[in-house]
Chains A and B, each alone.
Chain A
Amino acid sequence: MRILLALLSGGLFGAGLFISGMTDTTKVQGWLDVFGQWDPTLAFVMGGAMIPMAIAWRLTIGRRPVVGGEFPKAPRADIDNRLVIGSVLFGVGWGLAGLCPGPSLASLSYGGWGGFVFLAAMLIGMGLAPTITARLDRTPAAA
């Protein structure tokens, strides 16, 4: 059941990214490029995605997941160095190539060799992250 639901979710995610145009790097970079030919599409995608998600979060109250177990705990509220530094680094890369983790996989079949190069570098980065995180955690806050 877990596997079937994961297949369904991943498939829907891929279809949504495909239809929305979010695997087109020019549309993502176009949205970030407020001083150029600004493309508003990404805002519609984000807004659209939040509607079913907000309803889903509401539906978790007083219930359990279909497969059993627990729903995710209430979100943490602390803003630490990791969150800010990581998000800035992610944003820089996102702007540079116009790709983020979801679309980099969704577009693998039509992204050419460039898509594979980006994905390989991203996977290496993900492999390096725990070491960098450990170092950040040793650095005192507000450094």
Chain B
Amino acid sequence: MEQDWILGLIGGLIIGLAGAVFLLGNGRVMGASGIIGGLVDGSGRANAAERIAFIAALIAVPAVLMLLFAPDKSTHVTGNWLVLVAAGLCVGIGTRIANGCTSGHGVCGISRLSLRGIVATVFYILAGGLSIVLFRHGLGII
């Protein structure tokens, strides 16, 4: 358990470094939902190449790490199709309506003391907690 916290902290520092590179290098906020969503709805067409490069590396590097060090790595994600589709739709619509997710509003927003980042983070964490209470402890779906 303690090892998990240390790995979490090290991984977190690397995530922060990734955000620092994107900000100081390209002058952009590293928000995963914004980078992906801008490609989906066409609003990010002007800098599509850097979005695609970011996404390609984001998929490829963990794939290589998995093959080299943890071939049995798993997300332990649910096998319930309905839950996966409902969750995906909520995350996709929600992050784009709110203009940010855990990386944009959370990591990048809170670290500059953005009020919107802090408010968004409070609401998605509260909603996430309530979602667990309702669907796990209440209805027993997840």
Tell me if B19 and A45 are in contact (CB < 8 A).
Answer: no
In the A-B complex, the 6 residue pairs with the closest CB atoms: A125-B92, A20-B11, A48-B12, A121-B88, A91-B127, A86-B98
CA distance A34 to B131 in the complex (A): 12
Interface size on B, as a range, is: 35 or more
Contact of B123 among A26, A50, A78, A91 (CB under 8 A): A91
Residues in A whose Cβ lies below 8 Å from that of B81: 117
Apart from A6-B53, A21-B7, A87-B94, 13 more pairs, CB < 8 Å: A5-B50, A13-B18, A13-B19, A27-B4, A39-B4, A48-B9, A48-B11, A57-B23, A72-B29, A79-B115, A127-B40, A129-B96, A136-B97
Q: Given A18-B62, A101-B32, A102-B102, does the pair A53, B27 have CB atoms closer than 8 Å?
A: no
Tell me if B123 and A67 are in contact (CB < 8 A).
Answer: no
Contact of B30 among A7, A9, A91, A125 (CB under 8 A): A9
Q: Footprint of A on B, CB under 8 Å?
A: 4-30, 32-33, 36-37, 40-41, 43, 47, 49-51, 53-63, 65-66, 73-79, 81, 83-99, 101-103, 105-112, 114-117, 119-121, 123-133, 135-137, 142
Query: Within 8 Å of chain B (Cβ to Cβ): is A141?
Result: no
Chain A contact residues, majority secondary structure:
helix
Contact of B63 among A8, A54, A69, A109 (CB under 8 A): A109
